[in-house]
Amino acid sequence: MSSNSFGKLFAVTTFGESHGPAIGCVIDGCPPGLPLAEHEFAHDLERRATGRTRHTSQRHEEDRVEILSGVHEGLTTGTPIALLVRNTDARSKDYAEILDRFRPGHADYTYLRKYGHRDPRGGGRSSARETTMRVAAAVVAKKWLAERHGIVVRGYLANLGPLAPRSFDWAAVEENPFFWPDAAMVPELETFMDALRKSGDSVGARVNVEATNAPPGLGEPIYGKLDAELASALMGINAVKGVEIGDGFAAVAQKGTEHRDEMSPEGFLSNHAGGILGGISTGQAIRCSIALKPTSSIRLPGRSVNLAGEAVEVVTKGRHDPCVGIRATPIAEAMVALVLIDHVLRHRAQCGDVAASGPLIPGSVPE
Amino acid sequence: MSSNSFGKLFAVTTFGESHGPAIGCVIDGCPPGLPLAEHEFAHDLERRATGRTRHTSQRHEEDRVEILSGVHEGLTTGTPIALLVRNTDARSKDYAEILDRFRPGHADYTYLRKYGHRDPRGGGRSSARETTMRVAAAVVAKKWLAERHGIVVRGYLANLGPLAPRSFDWAAVEENPFFWPDAAMVPELETFMDALRKSGDSVGARVNVEATNAPPGLGEPIYGKLDAELASALMGINAVKGVEIGDGFAAVAQKGTEHRDEMSPEGFLSNHAGGILGGISTGQAIRCSIALKPTSSIRLPGRSVNLAGEAVEVVTKGRHDPCVGIRATPIAEAMVALVLIDHVLRHRAQCGDVAASGPLIPGSVPE
Amino acid sequence: MSSNSFGKLFAVTTFGESHGPAIGCVIDGCPPGLPLAEHEFAHDLERRATGRTRHTSQRHEEDRVEILSGVHEGLTTGTPIALLVRNTDARSKDYAEILDRFRPGHADYTYLRKYGHRDPRGGGRSSARETTMRVAAAVVAKKWLAERHGIVVRGYLANLGPLAPRSFDWAAVEENPFFWPDAAMVPELETFMDALRKSGDSVGARVNVEATNAPPGLGEPIYGKLDAELASALMGINAVKGVEIGDGFAAVAQKGTEHRDEMSPEGFLSNHAGGILGGISTGQAIRCSIALKPTSSIRLPGRSVNLAGEAVEVVTKGRHDPCVGIRATPIAEAMVALVLIDHVLRHRAQCGDVAASGPLIPGSVPE
Amino acid sequence: MSSNSFGKLFAVTTFGESHGPAIGCVIDGCPPGLPLAEHEFAHDLERRATGRTRHTSQRHEEDRVEILSGVHEGLTTGTPIALLVRNTDARSKDYAEILDRFRPGHADYTYLRKYGHRDPRGGGRSSARETTMRVAAAVVAKKWLAERHGIVVRGYLANLGPLAPRSFDWAAVEENPFFWPDAAMVPELETFMDALRKSGDSVGARVNVEATNAPPGLGEPIYGKLDAELASALMGINAVKGVEIGDGFAAVAQKGTEHRDEMSPEGFLSNHAGGILGGISTGQAIRCSIALKPTSSIRLPGRSVNLAGEAVEVVTKGRHDPCVGIRATPIAEAMVALVLIDHVLRHRAQCGDVAASGPLIPGSVPE
């Protein structure tokens, strides 16, 4: 299996190219009895979609999900749930000019070296278009996690290039197209993005994700640690170059007395670990953070090589995001949700008859 | 499978607790015909071992590897290679005092909640002792990668708490107990560690790993990306809280024109990507970096909870590293090597008959 | 993953219910560069389809395959190949009467006990309709095996209830709707089937499959033996109750001198083993045989239980095959082909650089 | 992973060669909290061992199991359980004469072609010696299945070459070295075996296994059907050439009215299906049967080829079983138990929160 499946027990297999007839996925292992309807996918796909504001790619993806199997009379049956989204606004002519040359920072060169043959239209399989199906699959995961365990996964943009929020409010996040937690800064972000788009360049970003109400005990030592699987899930998102759990790289300069999360009968006294110890959830909020590189598809010319091995210049036309990080928030949430549901199922497979022992330390961190 | 196996085709299953009779591993899928002898494990296990200098734990692990299977007349046969290391210096009495309470920053609490029952001696399965077998398995992987493909994996300590190298020389790295690339700073590090040990506290660290000569084409989109699997492999090392590929978190504030690695017929003109594009190796050096948290086992008392749920104080005695990052260099190298050999095999499974197409861009980066 | 995927490296994930909007599959791991077009699926799907003669179910499945991804400019790209077949002749009203009762010999009861909820229309996921996608996926496998290795997989009906062929000719097999190797007996089979259909009852069958030109070396000891994986693949076909490799159950009464296949420089002197020794192919023809039970969906009333737990009578209407074994020939071939391509890829992953040692004994068996 | 692991959630990885220093296994995924001690392995290993009667190989395997990990204070901890058995009576000199030639019916030729290099001592990895660890791992599985679910797995010899039992009594099975259910026939079997041994030849056998008290709902459609996984598990035992579930090949000639198991509120009225419908257990006894070929290691000379490709004669000395089927009974039980525990865990992973719906039909079959 050439790794187009994700998850061990709640397994999602995706398929499709950016400019092919359709993209889709098959969810195998979903617990039966979950109510599920096609309209439930709209909200998260809308959050991820391009073409919603002038700050993201102007490709207008309609993204209507068709449920092909696995649901009967409105309930999941336990059999594979196939989801299909037809590609509706694929303009392959935009890509004609780059067929014979490799775009810097793209997978053009590596796909060709690996496979000897590639679909160049819109990046083919390496396009962020593929992440649509991660978000769709995670709609199912999020719903089950919320209904059965009260687990909530949510994210926000923590850096837009050099900019950082000056205040934090979860309520603000869904009220602006940037998933930005500081409402007062939104005009500043819009000005920044307008200038960036005009310049033809792009910037990187940071996205933070938090999962609350996950019970203690999720995660499998040694090679299926919850943090290791989150790292894989998040690093596998297009353009991600770094992953942190809890304090992440800040831990390098910390002292042990500073980093270790002390406990009291009332709860953990801090959460530097990001809710995971020894690869297993503690019951605290699970916190992770990712770095996204600046979009490689930019209008400014770059040096490259063509199929004949000659030096050429590349200019990427087409419709691209000047900051891919903006739309990455729902994608990062999706990957976290997919890891969590998989581990809930894995945990109950092995430990479903364990009478948990020892006290339950509340996860709440005084803030 | 409760995730004690690592790798899809070159698969390593490890077992053993810190203070049990033995630790070991089974390597399944090793190509046949590789010369292998027990003495070849000594060098890397010595690099990883405790008790070698006053700056790491004083537990003296002898770590003699016995090959139980899979090698006949000095060559691997293609059948499972079982490696066994008996535990020789396990002083479980050191742990008697912490049996009834959870050490902050440790897996004590999470293992108990997950399994309802745990082996507390020396941290049991969650001990860094387990990483011995990762290093042992990687001795086989490194040898095959070097002999068949000329691939070399090596690492160094890039931060020791607040300290950073002021100059860089690969030759220095193996000449000091810190894997530090700046020989002139070694006395400074020794002074720092002596003071730290005296204070009873600990610090974090950063380790960088580089793999050179990996051919282009390694890595599987979408969920088996080379960077995603490196992230999982590295985040799964005890105490790791962050992983970066190439520029990592620095990419957040970069512009597209700055980050994208341009190409010329003579080679890539930079390596911000860390040798991976679209999840597939470019042929450049693969570069990754990890953050390790400060050791949680420290002498300074911390607040915690006991099995009865009461507030208690914890002091960790035993023999511990004041900076676990120091010994993490060979472990991080090991995980990178294990990921690479797995992907070399995976690549030839699917693409073994592909006539690679397009020019081969040299991986060398002018520095 | 709830086991709707088959294969380790050439992995096929299927989805879809008998009377849902569509069935389909995703092939992950297909080598790139294989020419593939939609029309190539027609032949094998036609061989498997119902409604072609009066001797199989009268449901007329159109079975037009749409390639949704993984093929560009007529060549496989190495990315997932998604195949979709819309369900066109699903008459769910036929099943209304059996909604509240369990059909004897069917999965009605077991699905309901397992999942608590099921799609009863046409058997839902447990319908033989699902095997359409096995055949479709195997079209790709068969083509690659033939083009790259000259491997040919073909099967025939070896028993139709009590009937057995009196002569054998491969050329006859594709010339009659029964895949029967004895052309002279076809009228006898037609008479038998007409009487059976009239009686309302059904019969079992035996199908034999042979793969020629498979090289020696395919198969992985200990738990991925070629014969073990063939057994799983074949037993997993609907209605199969027994699997034999080579002489199969006849070996029980054989002597060692009789069963062991002696060798000479000119080749093996017999093939009792069915081309597999120690779980690994010998280079001889691989031979297997399966037993299919009589169709459970019959018009003759049977005793059963309804959802309320009361005794009831069941009569299955709808359109059913009086002998499911007839259409099982292409399905059994498909499963054998899927196992073989998977093992060709697995073999070259581990042993791709082995210089095979020792003499090559021709596989031909003097007959 | 070169398939030396078995099971998806209760996963057993075995290693070791017949004449290497040791054989062993790692059980990953065992539920925590199961009492387990080294002496518990003795009974089943004794049942499987050679050297117990004159009717099996005279190699005297001591087979003392050492638990290396995964058990603390007498209870499984949920971490990997490693079991080690040192090889004590390996006489490799017996094999010197067959180093340069291929024994007919053995894996000598196929291993060499696959790996280019092999361990010929005692058959190396392909020896039935490996099955020791299957039996050991299944001791854990059987205990858990019995304690948590009351599931009992037991087998018997159903044919010894041409001989078949004339009466049936489970109580007789463990009272004779043949696992034969008809006590009165034991002298006849002894006479048969003595004559066979004297002749230098060998015979095949049939073993039947039954699992009772398995709940309905075990097994995963489509490719992880309970019968498909049993088929793989059983066909993967050395020398097995055929597998049947329920009526097996007898179903070929049956009518639908004869085969289908009707139901009443008091229970199923027959068990032709062997306790599995649609790949899922019905709650009835699960019944399977295997054919074992006659031992290939016989004293009577056979034609073969040597490493130089020349025609030679082979005579197998060493200590061998004239009927490998005799000792296969505990091995077949072991494989069935390993499949069942894996499916119990898989079922509760996906369906652990299903409120089973519909009536529970008793599994008892009036006999």
**pLDDT in the model for residue A128:** 87
Token couple for B191:
């002074």
Question: Burial code of B244-256, b = ≥16 C-beta within 10 A, e = fewer?
Answer: bbbbbbbbbbbbb
Residue type, B167: S
Per-residue pLDDT at D94: 62
Decide if C278 touches B, using CB distance below 8 A. Answer: no
**Cβ contact (<8 Å) for C350 and B33?**
no
Residue-wise pLDDT tens digits, A251-305: 999 999 999 999 999 999 999 999 999 999 999 999 999 999 999 989 899 999 9
Kind and range of the H or E run holding D172: helix D170-173
Q: Are B26 and B290 in contact (CB under 8 A)?
A: no
Distances from the Cα of B35 to the Cα of A226, B30, B66, B77, angstroms:
36, 12, 15, 10
The Cα-based distances of A179 to A56, A157, A330, B157, C91 in angstroms read: 13, 5, 9, 37, 48
Is the CB of residue A278 less than 8 Å away from at least one CB of chain D? no
The DSSP annotation for C239-298 comes to TEEEEEETTGGGGGG-BHHHHS--EETTEES--TT-SEETTEE-SS-EEEEEEEPPPS--
The average confidence (pLDDT) of chain B is 92
Which whole-number Å values give the CA distances from A255 to A232, A288, B50, B191, in the listed order?
27, 21, 21, 17
The two tokens of residue A235 are: 């690093």
Which residues of B fall within a CB distance of 8 Å from A311? 264-265
Q: And the tokens for A295? A: 């979009």
Q: Give the pLDDT of residue A93.
A: 63
Is the pLDDT at B53 greater than 90? The verdict is no
Q: For residue D181, how many C-alpha atoms fall within 13 Å in the half-sphere facing its CB?
A: 18
Look at residue C366 in the predicted model and tell me its pLDDT.
47
What's the pLDDT at C128? 87
Interface with chain C: mutation pick from A3, A4, A18, highest number of C CBs within 10 Å: A4
Report the helix count and the strand count for chain D, using DSSP H and E.
8, 17
Instruction: Determine contact: A35 vs chain C, CB below 8 A.
Output: no
* Least CB–CB distance from A4: residue in C17, C22, C28: C28
A26: contact with D, CB 8 A cutoff:
no
Q: Please list the residues that pair with B78 across neighbouring strands.
A: none
Instruction: Specify the range with the lowest mean pLDDT, choosing from A110-124, B241-255, C29-43, D295-309.
Output: A110-124
Cα separation, D64 vs C259, whole angstroms: 35
Say yes or no: A150 contacts chain D, CB-CB below 8 A. Answer: no
Which residues in chain B have their CB less than 8 angstroms from residue A301's CB? none
Cβ contact B16–D68 (<8 Å): yes
In order of A93, A102, A301, C117, the CA distances from A317 in angstroms are: 10, 14, 10, 51
Q: Is B203 on the interface with A (CB under 8 A)?
A: yes
- Residue B346 forms contact with C (CB below 8 Å): yes
> Which DSSP category does C123 fall into?
G
A32 close contact with C: CB closer than 8 A:
yes
Residues of C in contact with A78 (CB under 8 A): 2, 114-115, 117
Residue written as token pair 């087979």: D63
Q: B92 touching D, CB under 8 A? A: no
D40-76 burial: b if 16+ Cβ within 10 Å, else e: bbeebbebbbbebeebbbebebebebebbbbbbeebb
Q: Is C192 helix (H, G, I), strand (E, B) or coil?
A: helix
Residue from A1, A350, A351 to probe the interface with D (highest D Cβ count within 10 Å): A350
Per the CB < 8 A criterion, the answer to whether D105 and C273 are in contact is yes
Question: Are D292 and C357 a contacting pair at CB < 8 A?
Answer: no
Residue A242 has what pLDDT?
A: 98
Q: Which residues of D touch A32 (CB under 8 A)?
A: 350-351, 354
In whole angstroms, give the CA distance from residue A77 to residue A67.
13
> Which of D72, D127, D132 to mutate: most B Cβ within 10 Å?
D72
Structure tokens belonging to residue D49:
């061992």
Residue C137: name the closest of C225, C57, C29, C241 by CA: C29
Residue B300 predicted with pLDDT over 90 = yes
**Quick one: which of B152, B130, B134 has its CA closest to B142?**
B152
Min Cα separation D48/chain C (Å) = 18
User: Cβ contact (<8 Å) for C33 and B354?
Assistant: yes
State residue A351 phi and psi, 5-degree precision. Answer: -115, 20
Neighbours of C89 (CB within 10 A): 13
C32, A70: Cβ pair inside 8 Å? Answer: no
DSSP string, D286-329: EEEEEEEPPPS--SS-EEEEBTTS-EEEE---S---S-THHHHH
CA distance linking residue B51 with residue C332, whole number of Å: 61
* Nearest chain A CA: its distance from D75 CA (Å): 13
Residue numbers in D near B77 (CB within 8 A)? 115, 117-119, 124-125
How many other C-beta atoms are found inside a 10 Å radius of the C-beta of residue B262?
17
Block means of pLDDT (10 residues each) for chain C, 367 residues, are 91 94 97 97 88 70 90 96 88 70 93 88 86 97 97 97 97 95 97 94 97 96 96 97 98 97 95 97 97 93 94 82 92 98 97 86 66
**CA-nearest residue of chain B to C79?**
B221
Query: Of A5, A332, A12, which is closest to residue A140 (Cα–Cα)?
Result: A12
List Cα–Cα distances, B48 to B43, B44, C26, in angstroms. Answer: 9, 6, 44
CA distance A228 to A231: 5
**Interface touch C348/B348, C-beta < 8 Å:** yes
pLDDT greater than 60 at residue B366: no
Give the DSSP H or E segment for C146.
helix C131-149
- Distance of residue A169 Cα from the nearest chain B Cα, in angstroms: 22
Residue in chain B lying closest to C33 (CA): B354
Looking at chain B, the whole-number percentage of residues with pLDDT higher than 70 is 94
Nearest to C294 among D6, D223, D254 (CB): D254
**What distance in Å separates the CA atoms of residue A298 and residue A306, rounded to the nearest whole number?**
18
A251 and B222 in contact by Cβ < 8 A?
Answer: no
Residue A37: per-residue pLDDT: 97
Residues in chain D: 367
Beta strands in D173-299 (DSSP E): 205-212, 240-245, 263-264, 267-268, 276-277, 280-281, 286-292
Looking at CA atoms only, how far is residue C351 from chain B in angstroms?
6
Dihedrals phi, psi of D171, to nearest 5 degrees: -65, -30
Whether D31 and A348 lie within 8 Å, measured CB to CB: no
Q: Give DSSP secondary structure letters for B144-196.
A: HHHHHH--EEEEEEEEETTB--SS--HHHHTTSTT--S-GGGHHHHHHHHHHH
Determine the Cα–Cα distance for residues B63 and B86; give it in Å rounded to an integer: 7
Comparing CA positions, the residue from D347, D367, D357 lying closest to residue D271 is: D367
Say yes or no: A148 contacts chain D, CB-CB below 8 A.
yes
pLDDT at C358: 81
In this complex, which of C130, C309, C351 lies closest to D114 when CB atoms are compared? C351
Gap from B158 CA to chain D (nearest CA, Å)? 33
Does ipTM top 0.85? yes
On whether the CB atoms of residues D291 and D238 are closer than 8 A, the answer is no
Residue in B79, B350, B353 closest to C9 by CB: B350
Cβ-defined contact of A81 to C15 (cutoff 8 Å): yes
D32/B116 touch (CB, cutoff 8 Å), yes or no: yes
Which of A 171-200 lie inside 8 A of B, CB atoms?
none
Question: How far apart are the C-alpha atoms of A69 and B191, rounded to whole Å?
Answer: 66
Give the B window 256-275 contacts with A, CB below 8 Å.
256-265, 269, 272-274
Residue B295 touches chain D, beta carbons under 8 Å: no
Chain A neighbors of C17, CB-CB under 8 A: 69-70, 72, 79
In b/e form, how buried is each residue of C67-78, taking b as 16+ CB within 10 angstroms?
A: bbbbbbeebbbb
Least confident of A124-128, A183-187, C169-173: A124-128
DSSP E strands: which ranges in A48-151?
66-67, 71-72, 75-76, 81-86
Average pLDDT, chain A: 92
Longest dimension (CA), chain C: 68
| Contact criterion met (CB < 8 Å) for B78 and D117 | yes
- Return residues 95-134 of D near B (CB < 8 Å): 114-119, 121, 124-125
Backbone angles phi, psi at C352, to 5 degrees: -60, -20
- Residue B221 in contact with partner chain C when CB distance is under 8 A: yes
What tens digit of pLDDT does each residue of A47-61 get? Answer: 988 666 777 776 666
Q: Which two tokens stand for residue B227?
A: 């960077």
> Which H/E stretch holds residue A14?
strand A11-16
Over residues B7-33, the pLDDT tens digits come to 999 999 999 998 899 999 999 999 999
Q: pLDDT 10s digit of each residue in chain D, 367 long?
A: 679 999 999 999 999 998 899 999 999 999 999 999 999 999 999 998 866 677 777 666 678 999 999 999 999 999 999 999 999 866 666 666 778 899 999 999 999 999 998 887 778 898 889 999 999 999 999 999 999 999 999 999 999 999 999 999 999 999 999 999 999 999 999 999 999 999 999 999 999 999 999 999 999 999 999 999 999 999 999 999 999 999 999 999 999 999 999 999 999 999 999 999 999 999 999 999 999 999 998 989 999 999 999 999 998 776 678 999 999 999 999 999 999 999 999 999 999 989 877 888 987 654 4
Taking CB atoms and an 8 Å cut-off, how many pairs form between chains B and C? Answer: 54
Q: Which residue of chain C has the CA closest to B10?
A: C350
Contact C21/B at CB under 8 A = no
> What's the pLDDT at B1?
65
Residue pair D228/C232 in contact by the 8 Å Cβ criterion:
yes
Q: Which stretches does DSSP call E strand in D31-80?
A: 66-67, 71-72, 75-76
- C11 forms beta bridges with C28
Minimal Cβ distance to A117: which of C11, C32, C80: C32
Are the C-beta atoms of B23 and B129 separated by less than 8 Å? yes
Q: Using omega within 30 degrees of 0 as the cis cutoff, is the peptide bond preceding C280 cis?
A: no
DSSP assigned state of B17? -
Q: What is the pTM of this model?
A: 0.96
How confident is the model over B132-154, as a mean pLDDT?
Answer: 97
CB–CB contact A228 B242 (8 Å): no
DSSP per position, B121-150 = GGGGGGSGGGHHHHHHHHHHHHHHHHHHH-
Q: Inter-chain contact C231–D231, Cβ cutoff 8 Å? A: yes
- Are B109 and B26 a contacting pair, CB within 8 Å? no
